[in-house]
Amino acid sequence: MKDHANLAHWPERTEMAAAFRWTARLNMHEAVANHFSLAVNPEGSRFLINPRGRHFSRITASSLIEIDARDPGTMDRPDAPDPTAWGLHGSLHRACPHARCAMHVHSIHATVLASLSDSRLPAIDQNTAMFHNRVAVDDHYGGMAFENEAARCVQLLSDPKITTLIMGNHGVLVIGRTVAETFNRLYYFERAAETYIRALQTGRPLRHLPDDIAEKTAREWEAYPGFAEDHLNEIKALLDRESPDYAD
């Protein structure tokens, strides 16, 4: 492990790198097309994001670039991010300062759900209940997430209670207060979407949770002490043993 003590936001960088690496390990990435960001100033405008064209499995803590959502010259930088990454995450960090961390993927089951005529995720088990009343569905896909399309999409996350945006005909965007919270949510959304899709494939009637029980379960997930942090810490422990270069 190299010494990067002089590089700002090192603990946050290592957490982000671990999330990238594990997303690749779970095959929830898509070539070099997806992106994660993390705000690093109180206003939420400055953020870390993955460099353009870098596979998730090769992301390191030091490779993340720091940019400012309010800097109109960002795309003129020699290390400019992917234009859809700038469009989506720049728009989000300008419009939604409560969204400290954001993770966007085209993972298989989330994207299948986003491709259905009804992309809502009903509460049919404990994992799907995590997202009860906390998901927005965008039914108006307008092309790739360059600046205008991205700005339209992120308005659906203006309510701090909404943590997940099902981007119709596109994928999913998950937000949170920390890397651990956001990655945990992303992981469980993909699991929840898979459960729902597999349940649909049986062709048999679904057992929906009552609204009050689904809401109770969602709140219990939100209050579960240390769960997301434990999840990320274990990922980092595995990477420390198997792929320690993530923290370079």
Task: Give the pLDDT confidence of 73-121 residue by residue, as tens digits.
Answer: 999 999 999 999 999 999 999 999 999 999 999 999 999 999 999 999 9
Domain annotation for the chain: domains and CATH numbers: 10-247 (3.40.225.10)
How far apart CA 80 and CA 98 sit, in angstroms, is 24
CA distances from 80 to 11, 49, 73 (A): 23, 10, 9
Quick one: what percent of the chain has pLDDT higher than 70? 98
What pLDDT, on a 0 to 100 scale, did the predictor assign at position 5? 55
Query: Low-confidence residues of the chain, pLDDT below 50?
Result: 1
Altogether, the residues listed in the chain come to a count of 248
Three-state SS at 84: helix
What pLDDT, on a 0 to 100 scale, did the predictor assign at position 146? 86
What pLDDT, on a 0 to 100 scale, did the predictor assign at position 106? 98
What pLDDT, on a 0 to 100 scale, did the predictor assign at position 3? 54
Q: The tokens of 102 are what?
A: 């954001």
How far apart CA 20 and CA 35 sit, in angstroms, is 9
Q: Buried b / exposed e across 38-59, counting CB within 10 Å, b at 16+?
A: bbbeeebbbbbbbbeebebebb
